[in-house]
Structures are given as structure tokens and as C-alpha cells.
Amino acid sequence: MKVVLVAAISLDGFITRHDEPGSNFTSEADSRYLQEILPHFDCCIFGGASFRVARTWMRQRLMPDKLRVAVTRSPETYADEAEPGRFEFTSDSPRKIIGNLGARGYQFCALLGGGQIYSLFLQAGCVDELWITLEARLFGTGTALCPGHVDIPLELISHDNLGGDTLLLKYRPNR
């Protein structure tokens, strides 16, 4: 199973602007890119905070052949929102989640945030590639792409201009 971390960041490395939840700072080029690539993933993983911020948006876009998994400390809190095979909640470790998804036949997974989820999966060695949209913005504060102590060397795979001042950088962990 291939796991791709997908994120948009400011030039100073933040996935949120200041204390604002979500990634509402991204450009039209990033929005188009995200809409273009998401259909190619058969599942996606995100954290509980990301789910709470984008709950309505995610619910409106459920598809029978695309599994969404929210990682949360208390999945039982969301039992009434779970739909097996479409929308699931778990507190399992990154390795267990990926193993379970692979055993169920999923092959291409988007890791969609937030920062704590990115850090957990990177530190567990569960990320195959990072697709980072770099926005020409500086915030000074916000949620870091990988909060905490992380030191993972990366190898640049490719770089593209998505339009205007927005760049797409693709990396793979250099383990």
C-alpha cells in the first residue's frame, strides 16, 4: 500500500494561518490540484481535529468506493457517524491502520492532516511520499506541518509550478 502525505503549507512551514482552523489560506491553484488528485486515492486518513473542522464538507462528498478514516483518541464518540467501508473512526497506531487498510485491499492512501497525524505517520515510517503545495505566504504562527521533534531526511522527486506563485514539491523519505 502506498501512503502519500498531502499538504499545503506557507513558506514558513505552517498548515494553518495563526489560530484559524483549516487550510482556507490556499490558492485557487492548490484547490484545483487537490480536486484533481483526490479521486485517484482509494482511501484517505485524517485526524479528529481535521474531521471536526471539515465534517460537513467530508460528509457531502462520501463515495461508496472511497474510504475515509478519522484517527481520534475516542472513536466511540463518533459511533453514530461511522459508516463501515465509507467513513470509519479509529484510535489504532499508524502501522496498524495501514496494515488493516492493505489487508482490506486498499492500495493508494492520502494522508490529509493535521500536523499531529502527519508527525505520527512520519515517525512510524508509514509515509511513502510527501506532496507539498508551497503557498507564497508567511504567517509567523500557525500549526506546523510536523509539530514536535522530527528529523527525517527527504529526497526531492519532482517540483512543478501549479500556477502563479504556487509550487508543488514531491519528496520521499530517505530512509
For 110-158, how does the pLDDT look when each residue is reduced to its tens digit (9 = 90+)?
999 999 999 999 999 999 999 999 999 999 999 999 998 889 999 999 9
What is the model's pLDDT at position 127? 98
In this structure, are residues 129 and 172 in contact, taking their beta carbons and an 8 Å threshold?
yes
Q: Please say if the pLDDT value at position 24 is more than 90.
A: no
What is the model's pLDDT at position 175? 73
pTM (2 d.p.): 0.94
Mean pLDDT of 60-65: 74
In the chain, where are the structural domains located? 2-94+113-173
Mean pLDDT, the chain, rounded, equals: 93
Q: Please say if the pLDDT value at position 64 is more than 80.
A: no
In this structure, are residues 87 and 61 in contact, taking their beta carbons and an 8 Å threshold?
no
**Looking at domain 2-94+113-173, which CATH architecture does it have?**
3-Layer(aba) Sandwich (3.40)
